[in-house]
Structure 1
Amino acid sequence: MSTSTRAAMAARAAADIPEGWVVNLGIGIPTLIADHVPLEREVIFQSENGVLGMGPAPAKGQEDPWLINAGKQMITLRPGGSFCHHADSFAMIRGGHIDLCVLGGFEVAENGDLANWATSENDTAPAVGGAMDLGAGAKRIWVTMEHTTRDGRPKLVERCAYPLTTPGVVSRVYTNLAVLDVVPGLGFVVRDIVDGMGLEELQARSGARLHARA
Structure 2
Amino acid sequence: MMRLAGPTLIALLLCPAWVRAETDEQVRERKDVERVERTKDEARAVLAAVLRDDDIQPTPCRFDKQWLSTPVRADIAQTYLGSSLDADVTAPHLGIGPSDIIDPNETMRGIFCFSDEAEALTRQMADDFRSGAFPGERDLNEGRPVGTPRLRMNRTTFTMPVFDRTFTTAAVVSSFFIQSLRRTDAETARRLPRMFDEAGYSRHFHPEGVGLTYVYRKQDGRWTRIHQSVDWTAN
TM category (shorter chain) comes to: under 0.3
TM-score (norm. length: structure 1): 0.27
Q: Which has the higher helix share?
A: 2
Kindly name which structure, 1 or 2, has the bigger radius of gyration based on alpha carbons.
2
